[in-house]
Each structure stands twice: as C-alpha cells, then as structure tokens.
Structure 1
Amino acid sequence: MLVRRGRRSGLFTMVAVHSTARGPSLGGCRMWTYDDSRAAMRDVLRLSRAMTFKAAVAGLPLGGGKGVIMLRPDEAVLTPERREAALLDFGDTVESLGGDYLTAEDVGTSEEAMETIATRTKHVTGLAAGSGDPSPWTALGCEVSLRTTCEYAFGTSDLSGRTVAVIGLGNVGARLAELLHEGGAELIVADVDQSKRELAERLGATWTDPHTAMTAEVDVLAPCALGGVLNDDTLPALRCKAIAGAANNQLASDELDTALAERGILWAPDFVCNAGGLINIAVELEPDGYSTERADTNVRAVGDTLRQIFDSAASSNTTPLRAALELGRERLSAA
C-alpha cells in the first residue's frame, strides 16, 4: 500500500495493490470524505481485496487494487483548482507504481477526472478513446445478476410484477432502475439526493428514504450506494427474499452471509453482481482493442458465473459468498 500527501493539493492519495497474481491490479479511484486517514486506509484495503476476487471470479487477467483521494469532512467540496490538483497528485501516485496498478473512475470521480489523471500517468483506463464510462456496463451486469438471482429465488428470471427496492441512484443505480423498469419490475427507489426524485417520477417508482427502502417488503433488494448496509442493525429488519445490488462490500462482515442464509434470503455476492464495469474495461486491454459487441457478450456472461456459484453453494451446503470466494481462490492459485 502506498500513501502520499499530494504536493499540489495537500491531500492524501492512496493506492492499495492487493494482488498481481493474474495480471496488473485494476480498480477505481474513489474521491470520498473520511473522518481520518485510518478510515480511508481501511476502506482502500478492503476495496482492493474485493477487486482481486471480482477479477478472479470473472476470469479476467487482472489483479485487484484500489485508489483513494481522501477528503476531510471540512473540505468535502473542493474548488475546481484544488480538485484538479488532487487528481494530478493521484496521477503521480499511480505513475510511481510503474504499471502494477491501473486506475479507473469510481465514486467521486468521472471520465473527465480520468483525462486529468492521464496527463500524469499512462496507467489509466476508461478514457473516452477507449471503453469510456464503465457505469452503464456495471448496471447491465447487475441487472443480469438480479435476474439470475430471481431465477434461483423464485423459479423465473421474469421481472414482470416483481417488486424491487433500489437504494442509491447514482450513475449505476439510476441505470439499473431504468433497466428494471423496462423489464416490468415495480420499483421502490431511494437516495439521499432529493434531486433524484425526478427519476422516480419518470419511472413511476415509489420514492422513499434509504432506511425505509432497506426494510420495505419487496421481492429483491438492490443496494447501489456505499458499503456496509447489511449489518447487525439492518439484517433483522429485512423483509426481502433476495439481494442483488451494485454496491461494494455490502456485508459489514463476511460472517453475515450465514445470517442471511438462515433467514432464507438469497444474497448474490456483490463482487459478482458489480463486475460488469471491470469486465468492460478488460475488453479495452485486449490485444485487438475495444469492441462494444465483445463487451456486451462478456458482461452478460456474469449470469453464468453466478449460476455456477449458486449451484456450487447448494451442492456443498455452503453460502454463495463462500462458494464465490472458493472459486476466486482456485483461479488465483492456478495463476
């Protein structure tokens, strides 16, 4: 793990490289507010581990890493000049790793931010000249995963009349809600940003707050905001039959997978559901260059991966999380 204080912005920039066993580590750059540097380091380390298993389970020739630009509570909103300075500082941090880490956009950054970082390092993916914004592909992979989860939880992947609560309407959650609406699902949606209510109205969805959406009586819960939402406080209040969402690190601790199973709730591991953006970027790195058609085929294959995990969990009497981690370990060992 590398932590540096930017010479331009004065902000901490961090990169955690969890594994390069299958190839260079790849993970997004998150610009987010943390109470202190320890919280930021814990977050980047945990996210980098998730990226290792996300890439391995998806069968990609990539390792796991993550980047963070740490904002303090009193500086959560940067001036344009300081934001650019922070991105340039992060680019220097990436460059110092000599290609062991490839960055991409994540929470708090954008395709435009990647263009700025790319002025300091060539180890940037998801640029407009390549695969571009990965969030639509993350949403597509999540929709495929949600349908597959319904197939196992309810016996059909048809979403007609199925009730789904989508929590978090950022770039991924909003697109996922649109895809689910197109598929005939009845939606409950929530976000801390009240401006997202317009999307709810356009989709004919029920708008509410994140806590109410989390505990709503629905078929499927789709967490698409920040992690840790499935914890000792929220788990007893859940009234869903299945969970499949795009948020990273949804479980506050891995041990909660057993508690979900005991309650009869089928949880699709988050690092499988949200792999679409990474799978799309991996196409950009192929020798033949980027192809939308190959990206679409590869992202939709996440459904087959999830079926393999659910089948393995059932046959070995374990949880989907443990089956997914075992698949990832097998592929990492083979590398």
Structure 2
Amino acid sequence: MVRRANPAIQALKEETYIMSAVFDHGEFDHHEQIVFANDHQTGLKAIIGVHNSFLGPAAGGVRMAPYARMEDALTDVLRLSRGMSYKNALAGLPLGGGKTVLIGNPRTDKTPALMAALGRAIERLNGRYLAAEDVGMTLADMEQIATETSHVFGRDPKAGFGGEPSPMTALGVALSIRTCVRRVLGRDDLKGVRIGVQGAGAVGADLARQLGEAGAEVLVADVDPARAQAAASAAGGQVVGVGDILFADVDVLAPCALGAVLNDETIPALRTKIVCGAANNQLAEPRHGLALAQRGILYGPDYVVNAGGIINVAYEVSGTYDAAKVVEHVQRIPRTLEQIFEEAADEGLTPDVIADRMAQRLIGRS
C-alpha cells in the first residue's frame, strides 16, 4: 500500500520552512509582515514586505526582475523594504516602509492579467501597503495594477496623480551631488566637475541630463548601448563601458543601476572622491561604509539621496498633489544630508551609520 502524505502535515512543514527562511535570514530586521503571493493562472510570483508602519502605511515601489533564486528575491524585498522605512522617515513623510518584488523578466513576462493579479494581492492587504513604480515597471503597469486596487500610486497625471516619479528622484540626486561637491571640492557649481553615471534608465538618464546642463563633464554607462548613447548625447557627455564606469577617474560616481556595487572588490579600485547616486542598497554590506571612509571617499547614503520619487508619491497619497510643493520638499534633501555629514564628522562615524541611527529613532526602533 502506498502511504500518502497528510496534506495538513505537509502544509505545516512548508510553513515552518518558509518562516525559518524569513526569520533566520541575515537581512530580516523585525519586519512586520512578509507576504508570498502566487497566482497559478497568471504566473504571478511576488513577495510583499512590510518593514515598519510606525509613521503610517508602508509605502514602496514594485520591482520586477528575473531572480534566479527565491532566496535572492527574499533578500531584495527584506533590504529594500527596510530602506524604504529609513527613506520615508528621513524625508519627513507620514509613511512606513514596504516593497514588492515581482519575479519575472520585465521585457517578456508582463501581461495585463499578471498586473491585475498583483493588484489583487496588494488589495488583500487592505491599505497596509501602498505600491508605486520601481525598476522594471512603468506608468502603464501601475495603471493596470490599479484596476484591482486603489492602493497604488505613481499614476497618470490626467487623473490627478503625480505620474512618473523618476524626475523627482533625479532632482534629489542632483541636489545631493551639489552638496557633496561643495563639501569635498569647496565648489558651489558643477562646471567641469567630472561625474560618472552608472545606469541610464529613467532616473540615470534624467540625472545625466541635469548634470550636463549644469556644466558637468558627464560619463554614462548602461547595459543597453542605445540607452547609454541617448543619455550621453542629452548630457553633452560620453559613453564608457559598463565594466569601466565604476573605476573611471571621476570626481563623483553616481550609481543609478542595481545595488551592492560597493563591495570588497570594487572599493579598493575606485578612483573617485564622492559616491552619490540613485541606486538602492549600494553598500553590499554595512561594513563597506567604513571601507569607503578609510579611502577618503564621501558617501551620500542612498536612501537619503534618492528620496525624491517617494516624496512625489507621498503627495499623491495625501490627495493634494501639487508639483510645486513636491519640488519644494525635494529641495530639503540637501539639508538632511548636511546634517548627517556634520554629525558624522563630529562623532567620528560614517554617514551611513549616522543616517541609520537617525532613521531608527524616527521609526521607533532606537
């Protein structure tokens, strides 16, 4: 006789395994809720992470990527949702931190049905998590998600929303670069300042353009050669290889692609005085903030620098979207950055440590 597994026992084993994988994960930081969303008909596989809701509903983007392993997706959602808690807190927003990772190739796997299924998964959280656009997603995708939930932002301006948030992200990064240049180079302008932009997506391309218009000498790299060329042309700059941009001889390196680019291999070879860019989780590990400081490189904590996009979203959430007020709020980012740099210098600590401490205090974790 073939003995069949008891479904209840099997389900309990699977639940125990998942809980252990989450709670024992190195990036688990007392996250309030982790949701694994699956829909067989559409192929939906997503993880929604709510890190902290002390200041308000957890808000953060939907990131779509073809993760090779579920563990990689879990790592990303844990790190990114925590970063959103810190970002929203230091940006002075009444929002907690959350994130969604959608597993799949954004170029080939998207369908309206898939987006709708994700919308239903978000809706089941009853407003505890507010979704916005992130890497691999578009304004059209957010509109499709919105057919199944009202808890999604970064939507069409024609409907009274703020639209594509990347220009505000780029503005915040550009202002932060000016702050870093002033501190390190003693200059109030960017004329002739050599800046390497890694990644020419929506944020990186807009940042390159803004820097070029300010007189900077801009170098651009992207895995898509056409995209890199378009961004460099708009900035009056030049294209460099994706394998060269991190190690280019520049005054400022602006990572605007994926995270963990500052690590044991790259930091010793950097030829820059400043790292200040839009990518999330640029430090592969917390200790790499100290490694940068030991090389005399000023680091602008990424979740402080790149807060412009979520600021744009926050004004949609409030129901009183006003583009001028968004810009005014984004222009406060350099003040926060200066405060972090001052405290770091006074206490002999690195900017990332000070930023983390400030954020933890604001979200009730100190």
| TM-score tier after normalising by the smaller chain length | over 0.9
Amino acid aligned to 1:194: P
Output one character per residue of 1:87-142: Cα deviation in whole Å (capped at 9) or x when no partner. 11111111111111000011111111111000111101111121111000000001
| 8 A Cα contact 2:64 2:106, kept in partner | no
TM-score in terms of structure 2 length:
0.87
Match for residue 301 of structure 1? 332
| 8 A Cα contact 1:272 1:302, kept in partner | yes
1:137 aligns with 2:165: no
Following the alignment from structure 1 to structure 2, what is the Cα–Cα distance between the partners of residues 27 and 97?
14
Moved over 6 A (4+): none
| 8 A Cα contact 1:57 1:327, kept in partner | yes
| 8 A Cα contact 1:60 1:282, kept in partner | yes
Amino acid aligned to 2:340: I
Q: Which range is displaced more, 239-248 or 203-212? A: 203-212
SS at match of 1:27: strand
The alignment covers a number of residue pairs equal to 329
Residue of structure 2 aligned with 1:190, choices 221, 236, 243:
221
SS at match of 1:152: helix
1:107 aligns with 2:116: no
Residue of structure 1 aligned with 2:57, choices 20, 24, 31:
24
Output one character per residue of 1:153-188: Cα deviation in whole Å (capped at 9) or x when no partner. 111231011000000000000000000001100011
Residue of structure 1 aligned with 2:86, choices 50, 53, 63:
53
| 8 A Cα contact 2:208 2:231, kept in partner | no
Cα gap change, 1:285 to 1:4, in 2 (>3 Å) = closer
Output one character per residue of 1:267-315: Cα deviation in whole Å (capped at 9) or x when no partner. 000001100001111122235x110110010011101110111111111
Following the alignment from structure 1 to structure 2, what is the Cα–Cα distance between the partners of residues 174 and 259?
29
Following the alignment from structure 1 to structure 2, what is the Cα–Cα distance between the partners of residues 122 and 202?
36
Residue of structure 2 aligned with 1:322, choices 329, 337, 353:
353
Larger radius of gyration: 2
Deviation at 1:239, TM superposition (A): 0.4
Match for residue 29 of structure 2? none
Deviation at 1:198, TM superposition (A): 2.9
Residue of structure 1 aligned with 2:108, choices 66, 73, 78:
78
| 8 A Cα contact 2:52 2:363, kept in partner | no
SS at match of 1:122: coil
RMSD value, Cα:
1.4
Amino acid aligned to 1:109: M
Deviation at 1:77, TM superposition (A): 4.1
1:239 aligns with 2:267: no
Amino acid aligned to 2:345: A
Following the alignment from structure 1 to structure 2, what is the Cα–Cα distance between the partners of residues 38 and 85?
25
Match for residue 302 of structure 2? 270
Residue of structure 1 aligned with 2:283, choices 230, 251, 257:
251
SS at match of 1:119: coil
Following the alignment from structure 2 to structure 1, what is the Cα–Cα distance between the partners of residues 202 and 331?
19
SS at match of 1:198: helix
Deviation at 1:199, TM superposition (A): 2.8
Deviation at 1:84, TM superposition (A): 1.6
Give structure 2 stretches of 5+ with no counterpart. Answer: 1-33
Residue of structure 2 aligned with 1:34, choices 42, 50, 67:
67
Output one character per residue of 1:196-229: Cα deviation in whole Å (capped at 9) or x when no partner. 2133234331211122111011100000000011
Match for residue 241 of structure 2? 209
| 8 A Cα contact 1:59 1:331, kept in partner | no
Deviation at 1:266, TM superposition (A): 0.1
Following the alignment from structure 2 to structure 1, what is the Cα–Cα distance between the partners of residues 329 and 260?
28
Deviation at 1:334, TM superposition (A): 8.7
| 8 A Cα contact 1:243 1:267, kept in partner | yes
| Larger relative contact order, structure 1 or 2 (CA cutoff 8 Å, min sep 6) | 1
TM-score in terms of structure 1 length:
0.95
Following the alignment from structure 1 to structure 2, what is the Cα–Cα distance between the partners of residues 134 and 110?
10
Match for residue 222 of structure 1? 254
Residue of structure 2 aligned with 1:9, choices 18, 37, 42:
42
Of all paired residues, the percent bearing the same amino acid is 45
Match for residue 62 of structure 1? 95
1:92 aligns with 2:123: no
